[in-house]
A and B are shown apart, each in its own frame.
Chain A
Amino acid sequence: MIPASFRTVLSLAAAFLVGVLVTWGLFERFSTKPAEASVSLTSPAPQVVASTSPTPPDESFVAEVKPSPTPSASASPESEVNDFPSGVTQSALNYNKELYKKYPGLQPPVINIDGRDLGQEALQRMQGPPTLLTNPGGVPLAPATPAPSPAQRSLALPFPFLNGSASATPTPSNQ
């Protein structure tokens, strides 16, 4: 026979458990869970290893040395449009001269318009000193110096400030 005091304890524990289960059930019912994604465990099929391999350069590597693959298919022949090499368009040559005037010394790119080998020219430029332009901003303000807000400079239109929202979820709003 179960003692009366033990029965009381059991009853109270059951009541406690009921309260917990009911509350948990309510939360589960009204909460939103992320959808569980199904994961595919199929591994990719192994690929046939290509027989071609690159030829790494010797230690006395010179930039002109190229890897020597063994192409198993030929690349499609170059086609010229408007006498330019494939890939070159007239728009490539129409750079914005006003933009370049803003930065004295800035050079437009070299575009291959006659099909020549650009390699040597590109290497000479790359291996030479960079073109260093004059800093357009001069000496920047020290961070400790108060600076005007964007509302007061640089913008032609008003820069409205919004009051903070009391919502816990950011709700973008604009004027």
Chain B
Amino acid sequence: MIKKLVSTTLLGVVVMIGFSSQKAHALALPAILNFLPTVEVALPKSEAGPDGNNRFLWDYFSTSGPGGYLGSALWILDPAGNVIGTGDTMVPATVGGIAGAIAISFTQLHVNADNTTTLAFQFGGGPLLGGGGQISAFGTWTYNAQGKLIAFSGPTGFSTGLNKGLQIADMKFQGDHLVVTFQPANQPIGTGTITLGQGPYTVWVIDHFGNVVSTVGPQGPYTGYVLGSVTLSGSDSAPNQLWHWLSVTGTGAKQGFALSVQEFNSSGAALSGVVYGPFN
């Protein structure tokens, strides 16, 4: 009887261990890929500056006929919600937008450290938002704290066409800079799958007046690699770029994801490179 009790107790122990969670070996994926590129235009276009005032956009859409984007207007509110200024120039309809179940203008808004407001336009909704497919060009407008238009740039892009053209694969503000990533127009983006060997990539960094202050590329394509994120460092007037690549290395049980990191100066010269992984 004692033996039966002991063995049954141990049976309970074994069953519990069997059903409990255990550490298991797994692949580690560096979370540097953007599975939702160019959708920043769908974010709220409302931001407060260091002065506490909020800048936001009114997007106008047609309510009759086939519908469509008609343009945007900038408003400036004080912290109490009082309108204290408006943009002196409205964004025209040529920027483009989506009018339907969702209504989005193809514009990103950022308030800079000096209380100016920069609007970045992507001409084409991008693959995830439709409205024209690929993004062929970008432009910027900058208003001062009172809503006066003080600078504009673009629209600028690269020669279009599937065999020798470039599309804008990603475009977003990092701090007061706009980071624009170009890749060949015949390569898929935003498909939700990791496609290795894409490129070559070219990345531009634009300051809040629309000046191009850093350019790197073309880089790649590299077998087994895909470009993930690009971050900035160094001076605001000539920032360095840190490129994060995802690669698949090794074979069999040693196969895994690795992170390759390259640093370039603002003129595109390589400064350093290092690889981490794969970890399994």
Question: Bound state CA distance, A83 and B93, in angstroms?
Answer: 33
For A159-171 the 0/1 string (1 means CB < 8 A from B) is 1111011011011
Q: When A78-B144, A147-B222 are in contact, do A11 and B1 touch as well, CB less than 8 Å?
A: yes
Question: Bound state CA distance, A113 and B217, in angstroms?
Answer: 32
Q: Kindly identify which residue among A12, A75, A92, A143 contacts B221, using a CB–CB cutoff of 8 Å.
A: A143
Question: Bound state CA distance, A70 and B85, in angstroms?
Answer: 10
Q: When A126-B92, A147-B223, A167-B279 are in contact, do A156 and B270 touch as well, CB less than 8 Å?
A: yes
Within the complex, the shortest CB–CB distance from B152 to chain A, in Å, comes to: 4
Is the pair A65, B90 in contact by a Cβ cutoff of 8 Å?
A: yes
User: Which residues of chain A from 1 to 25 have any CB-CB distance to chain B below 8 Å in the complex?
Assistant: 8, 11-12, 15-20, 22-24
Question: B116: which A residues are within 8 A, CB to CB?
Answer: 87
Question: A38: which B residues are within 8 A, CB to CB?
Answer: none
Is the pair B89, A119 in contact by a Cβ cutoff of 8 Å?
A: yes
Question: A117: which B residues are within 8 A, CB to CB?
Answer: 88-89, 149
Q: Kindly identify which residue among A17, A92, A127, A170 contacts B94, using a CB–CB cutoff of 8 Å.
A: A127
Is the pair A130, B154 in contact by a Cβ cutoff of 8 Å?
A: yes
Question: What's the interface size class on B, roughly?
Answer: 35 or more
B260 contacts the other chain (Cβ, under 8 Å)? yes
Question: Bound state CA distance, A148 and B156, in angstroms?
Answer: 31
Q: When A63-B90, A118-B152 are in contact, do A54 and B146 touch as well, CB less than 8 Å?
A: no
Interface-central residue, B15, B83, B225, by most chain A CB under 10 Å: B83
Q: When A65-B90, A127-B92, A130-B154 are in contact, do A18 and B9 touch as well, CB less than 8 Å?
A: yes
Question: A148: which B residues are within 8 A, CB to CB?
Answer: 222
Question: Bound state CA distance, A71 and B53, in angstroms?
Answer: 14
Is the pair A168, B149 in contact by a Cβ cutoff of 8 Å?
A: no
For B92-133 the 0/1 string (1 means CB < 8 A from A) is 111100000000000000000011100001010000000000
Within the complex, the shortest CB–CB distance from A155 to chain B, in Å, comes to: 5
B50 contacts the other chain (Cβ, under 8 Å)? no
For B216-235 the 0/1 string (1 means CB < 8 A from A) is 01111111110000000000
User: Which residues of chain A from 59 to 86 have any CB-CB distance to chain B below 8 Å in the complex?
Assistant: 59, 61, 63-67, 69-78, 85-86
For B1-25 the 0/1 string (1 means CB < 8 A from A) is 1001110111111011100100111
Within the complex, the shortest CB–CB distance from A107 to chain B, in Å, comes to: 8
Question: B256: which A residues are within 8 A, CB to CB?
Answer: 164
B84 contacts the other chain (Cβ, under 8 Å)? yes
Within the complex, the shortest CB–CB distance from A88 to chain B, in Å, comes to: 5
A35 contacts the other chain (Cβ, under 8 Å)? no
A109 contacts the other chain (Cβ, under 8 Å)? yes
- Specify the chain A residue showing the minimal Cβ separation from B255: A164
Question: B160: which A residues are within 8 A, CB to CB?
Answer: 132
Is the pair A109, B8 in contact by a Cβ cutoff of 8 Å?
A: no
Q: Kindly identify which residue among B73, B123, B153 contacts A67, using a CB–CB cutoff of 8 Å.
A: B73
Question: Bound state CA distance, A51 and B262, in angstroms?
Answer: 53
Is the pair B210, A19 in contact by a Cβ cutoff of 8 Å?
A: no
Question: A110: which B residues are within 8 A, CB to CB?
Answer: 151-153
Q: Kindly identify which residue among A18, A111, A147 contacts B220, using a CB–CB cutoff of 8 Å.
A: A147
Q: When A133-B159, A159-B260 are in contact, do A85 and B78 touch as well, CB less than 8 Å?
A: no
Is the pair B150, A63 in contact by a Cβ cutoff of 8 Å?
A: no
Is the pair B12, A162 in contact by a Cβ cutoff of 8 Å?
A: no
Q: When A16-B11, A174-B276 are in contact, do A102 and B155 touch as well, CB less than 8 Å?
A: no
User: Which residues of chain A from 133 to 175 have any CB-CB distance to chain B below 8 Å in the complex?
Assistant: 133-141, 143, 146-151, 154-162, 164-165, 167-168, 170-175
A47 contacts the other chain (Cβ, under 8 Å)? yes
Question: Bound state CA distance, A34 and B26, in angstroms?
Answer: 21
Shortest 5 CB-CB contacts between residues of A and residues of B: A19-B12, A87-B144, A109-B210, A137-B218, A109-B153
Given contacts A16-B8, A16-B15, A94-B237, 6 further A-B contacts (CB under 8 A): A15-B5, A73-B84, A76-B146, A95-B213, A102-B215, A134-B158
Chain A residues with a Cβ under 8 A of chain B: 8, 11-12, 15-20, 22-24, 27, 47-48, 50, 52, 54, 56-57, 59, 61, 63-67, 69-78, 85-89, 91-92, 94-96, 98-100, 102-103, 106-112, 117-119, 121-123, 125-127, 130-141, 143, 146-151, 154-162, 164-165, 167-168, 170-175
